[in-house]
Amino acid sequence: MSEQGLIQVLPAHVANQIAAGEVVQRPASIVKELVENAVDAGATRIDVHLTDAGRTLVHVIDTGSGMSPADAVRCFERHATSKLRNADDLFALLTKGFRGEALASIASVARVDLRTCRPGDAIGTRVQAEGGDSPRPEALPATPGTSIAVRDLFFNIPARRAFLKSDAVELRHCLDEFQRVALAHPDIAFTLTSNGQELYHLRPGSQRARILGIFGARYDERLVPIDEDTDVVRVTGFVGKPAFARKSRGEQFLFVNRRFIRHPALHRAICDGFAGLLPPDALPFYVLFLEVDPARVDINIHPTKIEVKFDEERTITALLRPAIRRGLGRFQVAPALDFDQEASLSIAPLRAGTEVREPRVKVDTTYNPFRGSGSSSSLSSSLSSSLSLSSSLSLSGGAVVLEPEIAPSPSTSRAPQPPSSSPSPSSSTSTSTSSSTSPSTSFSTSPSTSPSTSPSPLPRYIITPVASGIVVVDPHRAHARVLYEELLARHRDGEGAQEAGSGVVAQRLLFPEECLLPPAERAWMLAERERLMEWGLHIEGAEGGVRVLAVPAEAEASPVELVEAVVGAGDVEAGMDGEGRWERLAARLARARAVRPGTVLTAEAQADLLDRLFGCEVPGLDPFGRPAVVTFTADEIRERFT
């Protein structure tokens, strides 16, 4: 035993397996490497087929250069690459691959079936390579291009296979990689199918058309083009209008010389370009391409080449912010008025020119509610009598709805009118100052006479006396809390025993509604159909989106809004898994279902809501952690009067 010594050279296939760990982490890695090879081969069309999110099969077919029979065998050797002849070439690289590691690595952890033929060759080559066995070539009828099928990933490394996530998550990763390459090469036609279902069908076209092909036509109105050229770098691409920024990652694409990269400093510089235009934690959409001299960027610092170093990093960083600003400025993207609803809850969105004043509470200072009877009912009546409230205020069963004072201005609550058509003589100034201060319009007296037909975007509070003082409840947030806890309870029940009828009551739609979705979100929704059904949202696949068949019983939002609430915050793209994710989904769904801010509830509805709210685990906060209830103790109130 000792004769052999301690050092043993690893057999090649073991070395490859270890190296493969760097290159092949999951099915998505294979998608990336194969699609990049096809791009490098000059393909005009690339078709990707996935089975079981790629764990059973990743098949990529291209119309590229193909390989000679000898190359078809050699490409499985480690460090076999046609793209690099010597170390200097590293600094002039415009191809995706160059390490010559991918195919060797993939063949060491999966079963590979390569078919290839150069245009003009009379005969093609097929090479099968499996788990690091030496490849076996055979002749094949000629079909120009290359087809590589990778089956049974990690069939020989059960431990790695066990580490793969759910199909939904793995598919998400595959689609991410696919998107990145497809975004960078709008001149190449791409398709992608998953278990036989076509998720992407991308025709060659403009950069803009490619973005729409991937994210859906609804992005058309969101895009702002960027184009800046300097000595060091050219920046082109698109950013999303600030109004469409989302709170989570997943829609940020930065490319250097058409290679997708992650670069926190550049990301920050891009976000800086949006300074003042976004809510603090929102992230802008962007698809930006930097073109730099390949000699001035080092892409070799990471095996999957996703991180890079620039010589002129500071210069590039400094250029990005103004490039974005100028682009946004050129398209007159004003600060957004309608961020994600989330923002409208903490700070109600102000339409330009609308004047909002604090609710005014007139107090009869001579009245002391604590003199004489101290019972809560007298506190209630004394308060309601001393609050000066608008005529729309409803007084019922001890609960009061207080409506904050809004001054709608004619120029904003209606479609803008040319000055000549306006009846008011003072209307030549389009500012809101003249009319909004008049007392008759300082309260929106009732929804029907309000110039805007939508309910007030500001919350109306339920004020109700309790033993210790008074509580003020925001009905929208309170309702969201109630629905949120119900959803989570269903979710937990659903996971244990799958007994029928445990889901949220669903209401079948008389007319199913279709909702257009980008392919990735569509795929995610269909994969999670069962879970969503437990939540009362019944969907099926439809052309370019999903069809909503039933919605949860208590739902203010439209079917389409419910779908958008579920997919809409970018978590799907971020590929997040686990409980936290479902909690966030539940929070968003609850928010969409909850009564809208500004809705006036009937007395029974108020009482019902308060009952349910105070039966919650955390009645004081909405699902996003913001206050749903504010309490004023008798002591606090007394103090305010001294």
- Using CB under 5 A, list all residues that contact Mg ion: 37, 97, 102
- The partner in contact with residue 544, picked from ligand ADP, Mg ion, none with C-beta cut-offs of 5 to 8 angstroms by kind, is none
For Mg ion, the closer CB: 102 or 328: 102
- Closest contact distance (angstroms) between CB of 34 and ligand ADP is 7
Nearest CB to Mg ion, comparing residues 102 and 282: 102
Cβ-closest residue to ligand ADP? Answer: 97
Sign of CA dihedral 229, 233, 236, 239: negative
Residue 273 identity: G
User: Residue 186 binds what, of Mg ion, ligand ADP, none (CB under 5 to 8 Å, by partner type)?
Assistant: none
| Residue 30 binding target from Mg ion, ligand ADP, none, CB below 5 to 8 Å by type | none
Q: How far is the CB of 258 from Mg ion (least distance, A)?
A: 15
Question: End-to-end CA distance of the chain, in Å?
Answer: 93
In whole angstroms, how close is the CB of 180 to Mg ion at the nearest point? 15
Q: Identify the DSSP state of 495.
A: H
Residue (17 or 354) nearer to ligand ADP, CB: 17
* CB of 37 or CB of 194, closer to Mg ion: 37
Tell me how far, at minimum, the Cβ of 64 lies from Mg ion, in Å: 12
Six token digits for residue 543:
């052309």
**Which residue's CB is nearer to Mg ion, number 41 or number 401?**
41
Dist. CA 31–CA 54, nearest whole Å: 8
Which C-beta is closer to ligand ADP: that of 102 or that of 211?
102
**Closer CB to Mg ion, 71 or 312, in the complex:** 71
Rg (CA), the chain: 31
CA dihedral for 165, 169, 170, 173, sign (positive or negative): negative
- Round to whole Å and give the CA distance between 557 and 348: 18
Pairing label, strands 395-396, 355-356: unpaired
For residues 203 and 186, give the distance between their C-alpha atoms in angstroms, rounded to a whole number.
8
Q: Provide CB contacts within 8 A for 591, sequence distance 6+.
A: 341, 342, 345, 480, 565, 622, 623, 624
Q: Out of ligand ADP, Mg ion, none, which partner does residue 100 contact, by CB within 5 to 8 A per kind?
A: ligand ADP
Nearer to ligand ADP, 98 or 154 (CB): 98
Q: 75 or 576, CB closer to ligand ADP?
A: 75
* Coil/strand/helix, residue 51: strand
Q: Which is nearer to Mg ion, 39 or 171 (CB)?
A: 39
**Shortest distance, position 180 Cβ to ligand ADP, whole Å:** 16
Distance (Å, rounded) from C-alpha 208 to C-alpha 149?
Answer: 31
| Min dist. Cβ of residue 259 to ligand ADP (A) | 12
Residue 82, binding choice from Mg ion, ligand ADP, none, Cβ under 5 to 8 Å by partner class: ligand ADP
Q: Fill in the amino acid letter for 86.
A: N
CA distances from 346 to 25, 247, 456, 476, 624 (A): 41, 15, 14, 11, 10
Residue nearest to Mg ion (CB): 97
Q: Give the shortest CB-153-to-ligand ADP separation in angstroms.
A: 16
Q: Which is nearer to ligand ADP, 82 or 248 (by Cβ)?
A: 82
Q: Select from Mg ion, ligand ADP, none the partner in contact with residue 266, using the beta carbon and a kind-dependent cut-off of 5 to 8 Å.
A: none
Task: Point out which residues bind ligand ADP (CB under 6 A).
Answer: 33, 37-38, 41, 62, 64-67, 75, 80-83, 97-103, 146
State in angstroms the smallest separation of the CB of 621 from Mg ion. Answer: 50
Cβ closest to ligand ADP, residue 303 vs residue 353? 303
Nearer Cβ to ligand ADP (33/528): 33
To ligand ADP, the closest distance from the beta carbon of 80 in angstroms equals 5
Least spacing, CB of residue 146 vs ligand ADP, in Å: 4
Closest CA to 171 of 521, 475, 438, 454: 521
CB of 311 to ligand ADP, least distance (A): 23
Q: How far is the CB of 102 from Mg ion (least distance, A)?
A: 4
3-state secondary structure 507-559: EEEEEEEEEECCHHHHHHHHHCHHHHHHCCCEEEEECCEEEEEEEECCCCCCH
The one of Mg ion, ligand ADP, none whose footprint includes residue 62, by CB under 5 to 8 A per kind, is ligand ADP
Strands 136-141 and 45-51: what pairing?
A: unpaired
Please give the distance of CA 541 from its chain centroid, rounded to a whole number: 20
In contact, 353 and 412? CB cutoff 8 Å: yes
Give SS3 for 295.
helix
Q: In what order do the strands lie in the sheet with 395-396?
A: 395-396, 399-402, 461-466, 469-473, 629-633
According to DSSP, residue 218 is labeled G
Q: How far apart are CA 509 and CA 50, in angstroms?
A: 34
Shortest Cβ distance from residue 128 to ligand ADP (Å)?
A: 15
Q: Which residues contact 299 (CB under 8 A, 6 or more apart)?
A: 93, 256, 259, 261, 305, 308
| CA pair distance 627, 630, nearest whole angstrom | 7
